[in-house]
Structure 1
Amino acid sequence: MRKVRRLTQRELADLSHVSYSTLTKVEQGVMPASPSVIGALARALSVPVSELNGRGLDPGRCHLVHRPAHPAPARAGHALREGLL
């Protein structure tokens, strides 16, 4: 979603009031997104939270960055990276 809207990570971080560091870590799957981060990103993108995660505020199911399937399984809470880009 971020790339579809032609936003850089820095621009989305500014719009959502989520730190750039947090946003990049969430997109890379290094850090799970908290419910407050998911909510802030959804508000900044003007989409319902369910569009980012598909199941309410379940950080383990949030789809923030769309990436092709990877052979290595993602740890629970790190799947946020699939949906935003």
Structure 2
Amino acid sequence: MQKFYVWTIGCQMNVADSQKLESAFDQIGLTKASSADEADVVVLNSCVVRQSAEDKVIGMMTSLKPQKLQNPEKNFRFDGMYGRPKN
């Protein structure tokens, strides 16, 4: 059985959106994983209005990169709000 992991940072709207997403995953038969390492599907739901939140999102994305390299079949989704690169 496939597992999912949802990581959320940001406002209460993000928390509510993540809860809806988790419910949808439950309804289609996915099991909630306790960490991204255990999951087949990983969702990062972010709101980066503050620099500290942006730093946490970048850190999480960086920590997930080796997982994708080791397991190309693993699915990642990035939702929410993330700024554009600074020029």
Q: Say yes or no: TM over 0.5.
A: no
Q: TM-score, normalised by structure 2?
A: 0.28
Greater percentage in strand: 2
Q: TM-score, normalised by structure 1?
A: 0.28
